[in-house]
């Protein structure tokens, strides 16, 4: 009797385990993996919600765009901007000079670094404007921005516009 109760608990535990889900076209692997198209996320995919979060786990300190090169003044401006961005929608961020980038437009060095980091297949990479040329880059996964690079000279995806 104890054995059958134990087996029941094992099968109950197996069925109650949560399986990873795909987020905005991001594949998390597995044979039954299904990608969620951005339109299925509703308002979140259109950029009209304000509930953003920042993650710092992807920061790349082994490239030429490393965060440890940031000055104290830049970090102070950055903290202020991060707080401001949290209260904006993506549409409002775009109006302030931040926007989604196409990695195909990145410099060869930046594209190579994405491949080295094994994240070249991410196409939802945003550039956040801190000041004229100073930017940081982050990968968007749903409502989370995973911060990646600090680009004080606007070298990752240069613009032909003056002072940007």
> Which tens digits make up the pLDDT trace of 122-138?
888 999 999 888 999 99
Which residue ranges make up each domain of the chain? Answer: 1-36, 47-151
- DSSP string for residues in 43-98: HHHHT-----EEE-TT--TTSTT-GGG--HHHHHHHHHHHHHHHTS-HHHHHHTT-
Q: Which phi and psi angles does 36 have, rounded to 5°?
A: -100, 120
What pTM value is reported for the model? 0.67
How much is the pLDDT for 49?
58
Given CATH 1.10.3470, say whether it is the number of domain 47-151. no
Other residues' Cβ atoms within 10 Å of the Cβ of residue 135: 26
CA atoms of 138 and 146, how far apart (whole Å) = 5
Residue 127 · residue 156 · CB < 8 Å: yes
> Which tens digits make up the pLDDT trace of 46-105?
555 567 789 999 999 999 999 888 999 999 999 999 999 888 888 888 888 899 999 999
How much is the pLDDT for 116?
95
Tokens of 1: 């009797």
Residue 129 · residue 97 · CB < 8 Å: yes
pLDDT exceeds cutoff 60 at 28 = no
């Amino acid at each position: 009797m104890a054995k059958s109760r134990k087996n029941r608990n094992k099968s109950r535990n197996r069925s109650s385990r949560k399986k990873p889900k795909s987020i905005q076209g991001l594949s998390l692997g597995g044979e039954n993996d299904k990608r969620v198209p951005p339109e299925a996320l509703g308002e979140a995919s259109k950029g009209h919600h304000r509930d953003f979060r920042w993650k710092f786990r992807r920061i790349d300190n082994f490239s030429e765009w490393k965060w440890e090169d940031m000055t104290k003044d830049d970090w102070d401006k950055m903290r202020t901007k991060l707080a401001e961005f949290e209260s904006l929608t993506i549409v409002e961020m775009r109006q302030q000079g931040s926007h989604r980038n196409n990695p195909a437009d990145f410099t060869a060095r930046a594209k190579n670094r994405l491949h080295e980091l094994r994240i070249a297949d991410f196409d939802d990479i945003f550039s956040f404007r801190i000041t004229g040329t100073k930017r940081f880059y982050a990968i968007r996964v749903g409502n989370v921005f995973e911060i990646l690079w600090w680009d004080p000279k606007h070298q990752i995806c240069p613009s032909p516009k003056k002072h940007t």
